[in-house]
Amino acid sequence: MKNGFLTGLFVWAICLLNAQPQVRIIPKPVSLQQQEGVFLFDKSVQVQAPVARKDVMGVVNYFTNAVKQVSGNTLPVKTAVSGKTIRFHIEPTADVGTEGYRLLVTPAYIEIRAGKPAGLFYAVQSLLQTLPAIRTNQVLQIPCMTITDAPRFKWRGMMLDVSRHFFSPELVKEFIDLLASYKMNTFHWHLADGAGWRIEIKKYPKLTGLAAWRVDDWGKSWDWSQVRFNADRSKATYGGFYTQEQVKEIVAYAAARQVTIVPEIEMPGHSEAAMAAYPEYSCLPHKHSFQESGDFYGKDVHPNYCAGNDSAFIFLQNILKEVMALFPSQYIHVGGDEVDKTSWKQCARCQQRMKTEGLKNEEELQSYFIHRMEKFLIAHQRKLIGWDEILEGGLAPQATVMSWRGESGGIKAAQMNHDVVMSPTGPLYFDYYQGDPETEPLAFGGFNTLKRVYNYEPIPAALNKSQAAHILGAQANLWTEQISSHEHVEYMILPRMPALAEVLWSAKESRNWSDFNQRLQPHLEGFEQRGLRYSKGNFKVDI
């Protein structure tokens, strides 16, 4: 009797396991209960949605396209249907914030409820993670479950540097797709740096005519002094830029995936490319003309925008006007990092500016520079964000700080009641190694394993509750000095980006490294099936 009962229990358990593959969603939902049974996508399934609402229909179409990709079937969408349905509801009473959602999957219907389209979109991502990664001929099924979910942080980001190497619009879209599939919502697009200018600015055609193209000796050395721009395109063999039309398309593509693009135009340093094209806005124009020498800027002095020259500010503001017209983002990133102050020290106009403004040193001149840009951005209803060097010499009144040299800049800013995005080199620089350097592709340096990324906590213990509220979230940065191919970009962000997504979305107490590893397995299989490159080096080290 006892034996029979145990055998029965065993058989029942096996059936249950067979019938219900365990749901393995990343980032882990705040609350998920899996129930017995599945919702089967038989021929009768229809979608019910408020078809007059464009914003909701964007999400619904995204969902039906995704289902079509893995099954070949097109789900009909109607305002009211009976029978087997997948229902999309927007209701302010859903009570899950602006990005949260409630999801109920039963054998008879699927119901998604959210206060905003973003929540519906994230519910869709949870559903899609339970479907096959690629086209199959099997009838699709989703395990029965109840989810209530909402993110912990509002800035869930990744940065891509397209200056050191240029990446096609297709790669940028794929990057955005990957972010969206893990419920990340911010794409920081590093569009201008010393090694190349990448966005069309109609008023200043030399930025793309000249500063987007270089003699590609980058491969021999990634010493920036080796980068040479050249007016003669036959000699400038490497480069590229995004036209304004392409930018608009990418911005819309991201918006349809609930991703905001924060554009970055570096100033006052990291400006070599722009200075090659428009040396008149640097302090030492004779040194920075691309025509004069092979190395377009002296190895001893990096050019900056001239802080003593009003026309340099006007130049940048005209650029930002075009940038703002393309990007609806509330935040505009102005860089601000690693400013070599030598050229300002040697510049009579900068020294004069310091006198008239009562500035004690070049750090204060840098602060003056950023203050002036902030005023301009605020006048255009935008917010300034910059790397943590913008703290030096005095932080602009409403600036948001992106803390990269560890967390100390972020801590300081939060203590001054400024908003902060955490992005410390350890562990959030994804240009660093993720496994044994002996077996990984050449990386910038450093060592940021999957486990270290997973265990990252964006809120420093040093902050009290009200200061902690200034931590908007975090982001990882993919600098591309060493990365030139589409495949290599995938490789560096997978699987670390999903780990970061869980840090930023899931409840702190629910994070568990071994549980994450288990949930990651089907995602890795999905990467394989979809031909996405990812590093396996993470699994050979346990630090």
Q: Is 338 in the site for ligand TNX (CB under 6 A)?
A: yes
- State which residue, 174 or 337, has the beta carbon closest to ligand TNX: 337
> Minimum CB separation from ligand TNX for residue 404, in Å?
5
| Cβ atoms 450, 476 nearer than 8 A | no
Positive or negative torsion for Cα 131, 31, 497, 323 = positive
CA gap 333, 361 in Å, rounded:
24
- Write the binding mask 378 to 407 for ligand TNX: x where contact by CB under 6 A, - elsewhere: ---------x----------------x---
> Which one, 241 or 479, has the nearer CB to ligand TNX?
479
**What CA–CA distance (Å, rounded) separates 19 from 36?**
8
DSSP 45-72: -EEE--TT-HHHHHHHHHHHHHHHHHHS
- Nearest approach in angstroms of CB 257 to ligand TNX is 26
Q: Report yes or no: 129 and 24 within 8 Å, Cβ to Cβ.
A: yes
Q: Does 193 qualify as catalytic in the annotation?
A: yes
| Least distance from ligand TNX to the Cβ atom of residue 235, Å | 25
Give whichever of 387 and 447 is closer to ligand TNX, judged by the CB atom. Answer: 387
Q: Which is nearer to ligand TNX, 188 or 228 (CB)?
A: 188
How is 248-308 classified by DSSP, letter by letter? HHHHHHHHTTT-EEEEEEEESSS-HHHHHH-GGGBS-HHHH-TTT-SSSS-SS----B-TT
Structure tokens that stand for 15 in this block: 């059936």
429 binds ligand TNX (CB under 6 A): yes
Nearer to ligand TNX (CB atom), residue 159 or residue 501? 159
- 364 belongs to the binding site for ligand TNX (CB under 6 A): no
Least distance between ligand TNX and beta carbon 226 (Å): 15
Positions 473 through 502 that interact with ligand TNX (CB under 6 A) = 479, 481
List the catalytic residue out of 165, 190, 270, 302: 270
CB of 476 vs ligand TNX, minimal distance in Å: 11
- Of the pair 147, 402, the CB lying nearest ligand TNX is at 402
Q: Which CB, 235 or 299, lies closer to ligand TNX? A: 299
Decide if residue 454 touches ligand TNX (CB under 6 A): no
Angstrom distance (rounded) from CA 246 to CA 279: 28
Instruction: Select which of 232, 295, 338, 525 is catalytic.
Output: 338
Q: Is 223 one of the binding residues for ligand TNX (CB under 6 A)?
A: no
Q: In 3D, which of 92, 120, 87, 110 has the Cα closest to residue 35? A: 110
Contact 371, 396 (CB under 8 A): yes
- Name the β-bridge partners of 146: 33, 104
Question: Which of 109, 222, 444, 539: binder of ligand TNX (CB under 6 A)?
Answer: 444
Cα-based torsion angle of the residue sequence 518, 522, 526, 528 in order, rounded to the nearest 10 degrees: 70
Nearest residue to 198 (alpha-carbon basis) of 268, 121, 270: 270
User: Is the CB of 48 or the CB of 477 nearer to ligand TNX?
Assistant: 477
Report the residue number, 99 or 161, with the smaller CB distance to ligand TNX.
161
Buried b (16+ CB within 10 A) or exposed e, 253-278: bbebbbbbbbbbbbbbbbbbbbbbbb
Q: Both tokens of residue 124?
A: 């869709």
Residue 405 C-beta: closest distance to ligand TNX, Å:
8
Total residues binding ligand TNX (CB under 6 A): 9
Other CB atoms within 10 A of residue 82 CB = 7
Count H helices, E strands: the chain?
19, 21
With CB under 6 A as the contact rule, the residue among 272, 374, 419, 431 that binds ligand TNX is 431
N-term to C-term CA, the chain: 50
> Cβ 442 to ligand TNX, closest distance in Å?
13
Measured from the CB atom, the residue of 127 and 395 that comes closer to ligand TNX is 395
Per-residue x/- track, 283-312, ligand TNX (CB under 6 A)? ------------------------------
The catalytically annotated residue of 149, 193, 362, 374 is 193
What is the widest separation between alpha-carbon atoms in the chain?
98
Question: C-alpha 114: how far from its chain's center?
Answer: 24
* Cβ–Cβ under 8 Å, residues 299 and 225: yes
Q: At closest approach, how far in Å is the CB of 193 from ligand TNX?
A: 7
**Sheet arrangement for strand 228-229:** 228-229, 213-215, 238-239
Catalytic residue list contains 338: yes
Minimum gap (Å) between residue 425 Cβ and ligand TNX = 7
The Cα 479–Cα 338 span in angstroms is: 15
197: contact with ligand TNX by CB under 6 A:
no
Name the minimum Å distance from CB 146 to ligand TNX.
Answer: 42
337 forms part of the interface with ligand TNX (CB under 6 A): yes
Q: Strand runs (DSSP E) across 361-436, as ranges?
A: 383-387, 400-403, 420-422, 432-433
Instruction: Name the residues that contact ligand TNX, by CB under 6 A.
Output: 337-338, 387, 404, 429, 431, 444, 479, 481
Residues with a catalytic annotation lie at: 193, 270, 338
